[in-house]
Amino acid sequence: MSKNKKSFFVGIISSALIFLMGILYITIPSYYGVDKMHNINSNDLLLSALLVVSVVKFGEYVLVKRNPNDEPIYITIMSSLIGVVNTMLLLVFPESMALATSLIIFVTAYAAIKLFTIDYYHDHNDAYFYIETMFLIIFAIIGITIAFNLFDDSVLQTIMLGFFFISLGILNALNYGLKCMLKSKRFLKKIKLK
């Protein structure tokens, strides 16, 4: 299997795992019961989501081996550190404030890592940096909007976290799919650019 195909399959599987975690979070209020949701700590859900993202991205880094900009390992480190920061914020702030702050930090750090990826593609005169920039803008808008709408309601927080990780999984899957198509000679032969 070529490196491009292997990278595509590993990226799609990692995106699917993050997507499925978001689906699970959205369905928790239905299965657990809305009236019993006050027993669930949304910060624990965020910590488990960060753990899943960290493990999935580390697996992606190990399986793909050589990534030109090592984005998955940086996301792994960033997710782990934000979990620690969230735990420390819980000592100072109320739960809803710590959750929103941790999510804003996650979005900011993820965007900074993506900016290094965009810079890498720009430095190598690869037009793919336009697509990376578009996905970064979409991700930042979704992340900031969700982080500012995390009110002190555990049902809403759980559903919003689920929507956030569904969006992250979909954007990553689209990113890997477009990258694979634009690097495929067979696909590029079928496109006629004028």
Q: How far is CA 115 from the centre of its chain?
A: 14
Per-residue pLDDT for 139 more than 60? Answer: yes
- How far apart (Å, rounded) are the C-alpha atoms in residues 130 and 135? 9
Q: What is the pLDDT of residue 191?
A: 66
More confident residue, 193 or 107: 107
Where do the structural domains in the chain lie, given as residue ranges?
Answer: 3-190
Whether the pLDDT of residue 68 is over 70: the answer is no
Average pLDDT over all residues of the chain: 86
The answer to whether residue 187 scores a pLDDT higher than 70 is: no
Q: How far apart are CA 138 and CA 141, in angstroms?
A: 5
State mean pLDDT over 24-46: 82
Q: For residue 169, with 0-12 CB atoms within 10 Å meaning exposed, 13-18 middle and 19 or more buried, which class applies?
A: buried
- pTM for the whole thing? 0.88
Half-sphere exposure of 12 (CA within 13 A, CB side): 10
Mean pLDDT, residues 53-58 taken together: 93
Nearest CA-CA partner of 135 in 173, 101, 102, 165: 173
d(CA 119, CA 191): 26
87-132: pLDDT as tens digits: 999 999 888 888 889 999 999 999 999 998 888 888 888 878 888 8
pLDDT attached to residue 120: 86
Question: Tokens standing for 33?
Answer: 């019961």
pLDDT at 190 over 70: no
